[in-house]
Amino acid sequence: MDDIDQHIVSCLVVDGRASFREIGEIVGLSAPAVKRRVDRLQASGVISSFTARLDQGALGWNTQAFVNVTFRNNVSPARMQEALAPIPEVVAAYTVSGDSDLVVHIRASNMQHFEQALERLRALDSVDRTESTIVLSTLIDRPSPVDRH
Amino acid sequence: MDDIDQHIVSCLVVDGRASFREIGEIVGLSAPAVKRRVDRLQASGVISSFTARLDQGALGWNTQAFVNVTFRNNVSPARMQEALAPIPEVVAAYTVSGDSDLVVHIRASNMQHFEQALERLRALDSVDRTESTIVLSTLIDRPSPVDRH
DNA sequence: GATGAAACACTCACTGT
DNA sequence: ACAGTGAGTGTTTCATC
Largest CA distance in chain B: 57
Q: Where exactly does CATH 1.10.10.10 map onto chain A?
A: 3-43
Residue B148's pLDDT band, with cuts at 50, 70 and 90, is low
| Fold assignment, B3-43 | Arc Repressor Mutant, subunit A (1.10.10)
How far A2 CA lies from chain B's nearest CA (Å)? 11
Return the pLDDT at A57: 87
The length of chain A, given as a count of residues:
149
Cα torsion angle, A132, B114, B121, B123, sign:
positive
- Give the A:B interface size as CB pairs under 8 Å: 212
**B108 has a pLDDT exceeding 90:** yes
Q: Is the CB of B32 under 7 A from strand D?
A: yes
Backbone angles phi, psi at B15, to 5 degrees: -140, 100
Return the pLDDT at B149: 66
Q: Is the CB of B133 under 7 A from strand C?
A: no
Which whole number is the average pLDDT over B131-145?
94
pTM over 0.75: yes
Determine the Cα–Cα distance for residues A142 and A12; give it in Å rounded to an integer.
Answer: 14
Which whole number is the average pLDDT over B90-98?
97
Cβ–Cβ < 8 Å for B145, B6: no
C-alpha count within 13 angstroms, C-beta hemisphere, residue A135: 26
Return the pLDDT at A39: 98
3-class DSSP assignment, residue A72: coil
How far A59 CA lies from chain B's nearest CA (Å)? 7
Q: Where exactly does CATH 3.30.70.920 map onto chain A?
A: 63-134
Give the lowest-confidence range in A64-78, A116-130, B109-123, B135-149: B135-149
User: If 0-12 CB within 10 Å is exposed, 13-18 middle and 19+ buried, where does residue A82 land?
Assistant: exposed
Residue B49's pLDDT band, with cuts at 50, 70 and 90, is very high
Residue B147's pLDDT band, with cuts at 50, 70 and 90, is confident
Q: Which CATH class is domain B63-134?
A: alpha beta
